[in-house]
Structure 1
Amino acid sequence: MNIIIIEDELRTAKSLETIIKDLKPDASIVGQYQSVEESVDALSNTTQPDLIFMDIQLADGLSFEIFKSVKINCPVIFCTAFDEYSLEAFKSNGVDYVLKPFSKDDIKEALLKVDGFKNFFQQKTSPDLEALLSRINPPSGKTSFLVFKNQKYTTVQTDSIAFFYIRNDSTSLMCFDGQEYALSQSLDNIAASVSSKQFFRVNRQYLVNFKAIKEVEHYFLRKLYVKLLIETPEKLLINKEKSHNFLSWMEER
């Protein structure tokens, strides 16, 4: 088995390599890369491996950017210190999501999962990700957010959030009860961490909860105007290119 490690922490990469070689003596580490750019270049110009171990936050960005530049057909085991990217990881050929600091048993379990899918991957050049998702039973999305307000930390349940939005270059969440909280995460990261069945990115500024949608109207230039139960600072407009996906998302309930 040929394996690539994409990890920007050299000590972690070395530890991972040692564990892999101990668990799979016949495996070959055919490449180690530390950045998105380096990984894209390597995967574009070499034969793809049988398996990739991949950190998510690399020196020059999130590793999900790799998938936008290179078609990856092999399974990926994500190793990261952050749990908010799990849903996006499983959409990106992920067969397991290992949180740091990981143990030898964590890596062993992940490798066993890959072995269990071995016949599945041999039968298809490109994995059926929906089938994978049903087999590995991934988490349904982040269930709460830690917020800080009035000199106090508290948690807000995701189900109680009507929408997330960007205003004045800052990200906030708005609850159904009208309470608003500032967040340190970007809207991109939040969108990747919540359930895609529950929330939809209507535009660059807004990520809305399905339960918050009151009605949808046709608007000028074939756009859609989305009205929520909670008033928003701006009109929520969806451009014509995204309208079909939005309506399909609504219909899937």
Structure 2
Amino acid sequence: MRLLIIEDEIHNANRLQLMLKELDPEITVVGILESVADSIEWFDQQDAPDLILMDVRLADGLCFEIFSARTITAPVIFTTAYDEYAIRAFKVNSIDYLLKPIHKTELAAALAKYQQILDIIQPDPDISNLVEIIKKQGVAYRSRFLVQVNDGYKTIVVKDIDYIYSEFKITHLVLQNNGVQPVSYTMDELEEQLDPEVFFRANRQHIISINSIKGIHNFFNGKLKVTLIKHPAAEILISREKAAAFKQWLDR
């Protein structure tokens, strides 16, 4: 197996290399890269590896910039000290998401998972088929929120949310029963955590549910105006740049 390590801390890269050698002496590490820029350059010049071990935060940014800049055909085991990027990772070529410090048993389990998926596509070991299987495994999107109320807590189910808005840097969930609940998540974080089949980021201030839409109307300069069933007073505009993506989302 040809394996690429993308990790900006050399002691972590060396530790991964040592564990890989102990787990499977037939694994060949074809490179150790420290940055987004180095990785993009490497993929421009080299054939795709069979598997990538990739840290999320690199010396010059998040690893997801690599996927935006180049088409990555190899499956990925993400290795990171941060757990807030898990959903984003599983939207790309992720087989597993290992939190540092990584133990040999966890790495072994991730390699076994790779092998299991590889066995599925035999006798046609086309790496593009492998990546498609990985992507079809699905992402566990958020289904509920635990929020603090006075001296206790309550649960809000995601299906009860009509839309979400941000005001004065505070994010609010607007519920079907007209309740409004502030939460300690940014709009960017919620966009990652919520199922994109159900929720659409209309603009910087609003995320709307497909189940809350009453009508869509043409607006000035190619924009669209969305009216909601239970909250008709809410003014939600889709920019001209996002209008095509919004129509495609509605037409699935």
1:35 alignment partner in structure 2: 35
Pair 1:125–1:106, CA change in 2 (3 A): closer
1:88 alignment partner in structure 2: 88
2:16 alignment partner in structure 1: 16
Quote the Cα distance in structure 2 between the aligned partners of 1:179 and 1:202. 19
| 1:66-106 CA distance string (max 9 Å, x none) | 11112211111122344443333233122223344443222
Quote the Cα distance in structure 2 between the aligned partners of 1:153 and 1:58. 37
Unpaired runs of 5+ residues, structure 1, are none
Q: Tell which deviates more after alignment, 84-93 or 116-125.
A: 116-125
Unpaired runs of 5+ residues, structure 2, are none
Aligned 1:1-253 pairs, distance under 5 A: 1-118=1-118, 120=121, 123-124=125-126, 126-127=128-129, 131-134=133-136, 137-145=137-145, 156-168=156-168, 170-176=169-175, 177-183=178-184, 185-229=185-229, 231=231, 235-252=235-252
Pair 1:156–1:36, CA change in 2 (3 A): farther
Q: Tell which deviates more after alignment, 41-50 or 21-30.
A: 41-50
Q: Aligned pairs, how many?
A: 248
The amino acid across from 2:181 in the alignment is: E
> What's the secondary structure of 1:227's corresponding residue?
strand
- Percent identity of equivalent pairs: 34
Quote the Cα distance in structure 1 between the aligned partners of 2:148 and 2:191. 20
CA RMSD between the two structures? 3.2
Pair 1:175–1:99, CA change in 2 (3 A): farther
| 1:115-165 CA distance string (max 9 Å, x none) | 23336496546347554333xx33331234465677977764433433344
The amino acid across from 1:195 in the alignment is: D
Contact 2:222–2:240 (8 Å) recurs in 1: yes
Quote the Cα distance in structure 1 between the aligned partners of 2:117 and 2:208. 35
Contact 1:225–1:236 (8 Å) recurs in 2: yes
Quote the Cα distance in structure 1 between the aligned partners of 2:35 and 2:156. 34
> What's the secondary structure of 1:142's corresponding residue?
coil
Contact 1:148–1:181 (8 Å) recurs in 2: no
Contact 2:54–2:79 (8 Å) recurs in 1: yes
Contact 1:8–1:59 (8 Å) recurs in 2: yes
Pair 1:142–1:99, CA change in 2 (3 A): farther
TM-score where L is the length of structure 1: 0.79
Quote the Cα distance in structure 1 between the aligned partners of 2:156 and 2:34. 35
Pair 1:240–1:103, CA change in 2 (3 A): same
Quote the Cα distance in structure 2 between the aligned partners of 1:155 and 1:91. 26
The amino acid across from 1:133 in the alignment is: K
TM-score where L is the length of structure 2: 0.79
Quote the Cα distance in structure 2 between the aligned partners of 1:81 and 1:178. 36
Relative contact order higher in (CA < 8 Å, ≥ 6 apart)? 1
